[in-house]
Amino acid sequence: MTHQTATVTGCAAAIAAGEVSSVAVTEAALARISLLDSKLNSHLHVDAAGALATAAQVDRDRSAGRALGSLAGVPISIKDNIATTGMPMTAGSRILQGYQPPFDATVAARLRAAGAVLIGKTNLDEFAMGSSSESSAFGVVHNPWDLGRVPGGSSGGSAAAVAAGLVPAALGTDTGGSIRQPAALCGIVGLKPTYGRVSRFGAVAYASSLDQIGPLTRTVRDAARVLRVISGGDVRDSTCSTATVPDFEAALTGDVHGMRLGVPREYLDGAEGLDPAVRASVQNALNLLVDLGATVVSVPLPHTRFCVATYYLIATSEASANLARYDGVRFGHRAVLSASDGIDDLYARSRGEGFGAEVKRRILLGTFALSAGYHDAYYKKACQVRRLIHAELLAALRTCDALVGPTSPVPAWPLRGKSGNPLEMYLMDIFTLGANLAGVPGLSVPLPLHPRGLPIGLQLLGRPFEEATLLRIGDAYTRVTATDSLWPALAGAR
């Protein structure tokens, strides 16, 4: 892709003006995937024929003078736990290998209606359970900034594809930071919307009270455009809000004068494991926002220390229930049995062969937390603590326009560097989990590169359904710093 077509808004504008054809843009994206994805493993499936057919229709519509959607001709990839017709969906698991959805997820249908070219499905941690994109049954994803490092997870394939310039945008899912953390580790923008802003219909359920679909893009403006397309009520998702969807791009004024930004003490001062260079970069960003006219205040979030334990009890409990359907009878992989085997053998062998180690670990944790004699001590107590975390975040946001801190405590770590220690891996989500537990929106934008030459991210948390405020702040910051124009060497000169 050229510099002109590397962003969603640039690509859509060039196609609408007839400066480039959608077919040419799609062919360029397919060529980059063919050239680079053997190194990244960001895509599990590429639908070249379907993408080119859609692109050709966009070009015909433009030539005929028909109205074009806001994403007309823009190549977009979708995380492989979101249903799309014409392409398989595995959720990164052998248990769903070969499954072809007979319908589009609501977000996929809305992208198509806006003219987007759905080019492929991206790799992920199995069933979105992970923080490094190493648990996929179909191989690890590599960070385009350093192929020996993780891209973050679980939406690592989507993040790597956007960061390397394979596509201008991709969709991911965020259950505990799975959009924002890989966005930070790959140097791009990642947005987790408010719970209920975007329909979850057609997304493979991991933890239903936490999951949300959102965009990964190169710029804040691109995220605003994609978010507007995929947002809005949906009768097929009872948790989806009918709240009015604003023009998010109109909020990008570049002005943060008079805004009040809260810095949680627990995110900077007392954060265990926070890289000193990340802390310094976040402080520099806060100083810049003050120079732009914002006010920065310190706010307490003492329950932050309980986020990891609370999240992993609630998420695994919901996962154990959601994944019970993959039994080898109704859904998923079916083991080959001998004549003497019974139904219990079918269940055990099908699930044993189909699920990977991390998924099994979380199913076991969740099943234990929900079991008789332990439900009140673990799951019920976690739900009670969740309410405290939710109330605490909302109280802080009543006094501030947004909360600001690091997205990830560290930059990308080496492949297999933490996979042998699940607890250490879980702690990588310490700053992102609160947004999911409280259902509030979160945005990650790139900071200047870490001294080791790796991307890191600045996280903004906002009030429910006030994504526009976060986008406004993120846009103002990146306008001044141009951190959204950094490219890894793998992507070539832009």
User: Mind listing the pLDDT tens digit for each residue in 145-180?
Assistant: 999 999 999 999 999 999 999 999 999 999 999 999
- Mean pLDDT of the region 317-338: 90
Look at 84-93, 349-358, 414-423, 430-439 and tell me which has the smallest mean pLDDT. 414-423
Task: Assess contact for 198 and 214: CB atoms under 8 A.
Answer: yes
In the predicted model, is pLDDT for residue 28 greater than 80? Answer: yes
Look at residue 341 in the predicted model and tell me its pLDDT. Answer: 81
Look at residue 427 in the predicted model and tell me its pLDDT. Answer: 87
What's the pLDDT band for 494 if we cut at 50, 70, 90?
low
What's the pLDDT band for 4 if we cut at 50, 70, 90?
low
Look at residue 275 in the predicted model and tell me its pLDDT. Answer: 96
Task: Assess contact for 152 and 408: CB atoms under 8 A.
Answer: yes
Task: Assess contact for 125 and 179: CB atoms under 8 A.
Answer: no
Closest CA to 198 of 393, 439, 446: 439
Task: Assess contact for 453 and 206: CB atoms under 8 A.
Answer: no
What's the pLDDT band for 271 if we cut at 50, 70, 90?
confident
In the predicted model, is pLDDT for residue 139 greater than 80? Answer: yes
Each domain of the chain, given as residue ranges in start order, spans: 8-260+467-491
What's the pTM? 0.96
Look up tokens 């990891």; give the residue: 308
Percent of the chain scored above 70 by pLDDT? 99
Most distant CA pair in the chain: distance in Å?
A: 75
Look up tokens 């220390």; give the residue: 305
**Sheet of strand 189-192, all strands in order from the earlier edge strand to the far edge:** 43-46, 117-122, 75-79, 169-173, 213-217, 189-192, 442-446, 457-461, 402-406, 260-264, 295-299
- Give the residue numbers marked as catalytic: 79, 154, 178
What's the pLDDT band for 450 if we cut at 50, 70, 90?
very high
Look at residue 347 in the predicted model and tell me its pLDDT. Answer: 87
- CATH architecture for residues 8-260+467-491: Alpha-Beta Complex (3.90)
Contacts of residues 81-84 at CB distance under 8 Å and 24 or more positions apart, as own/partner, are: 81/124, 81/127, 81/128, 81/173, 81/203, 81/204, 81/206, 82/107, 82/108, 82/171, 82/173, 82/202, 82/203, 82/204, 82/213, 83/108, 83/202, 83/203, 83/204, 84/108, 84/118, 84/121
Q: What proportions of the chain, in percent to the nearest 5, are helix, strand and coil?
A: 45, 15, 45
Look at 127-131, 256-260, 268-272, 400-404 and tell me which has the smallest mean pLDDT. 268-272
**What pLDDT digit, counting tens, does each position of 208-256 carry?**
999 999 999 999 999 999 999 999 999 999 999 999 999 999 999 999 9
Distances (CA, A) of 406 to 2, 263, 278, 289, 446: 31, 10, 7, 15, 10
CA separation for the pair 104, 17 (Å, rounded): 30
Look at residue 368 in the predicted model and tell me its pLDDT. Answer: 96
Computed over every residue of the chain, the mean pLDDT equals 95
Per the rule left: phi > 0, alpha: psi between -120 and 50, beta: everything else, 145 is alpha
What's the pLDDT band for 330 if we cut at 50, 70, 90?
confident
In the predicted model, is pLDDT for residue 337 greater than 90? Answer: no
**Six token digits for residue 15:** 């196609």
Look at residue 1 in the predicted model and tell me its pLDDT. Answer: 58
CB atoms within 10 A of CB 163: 30
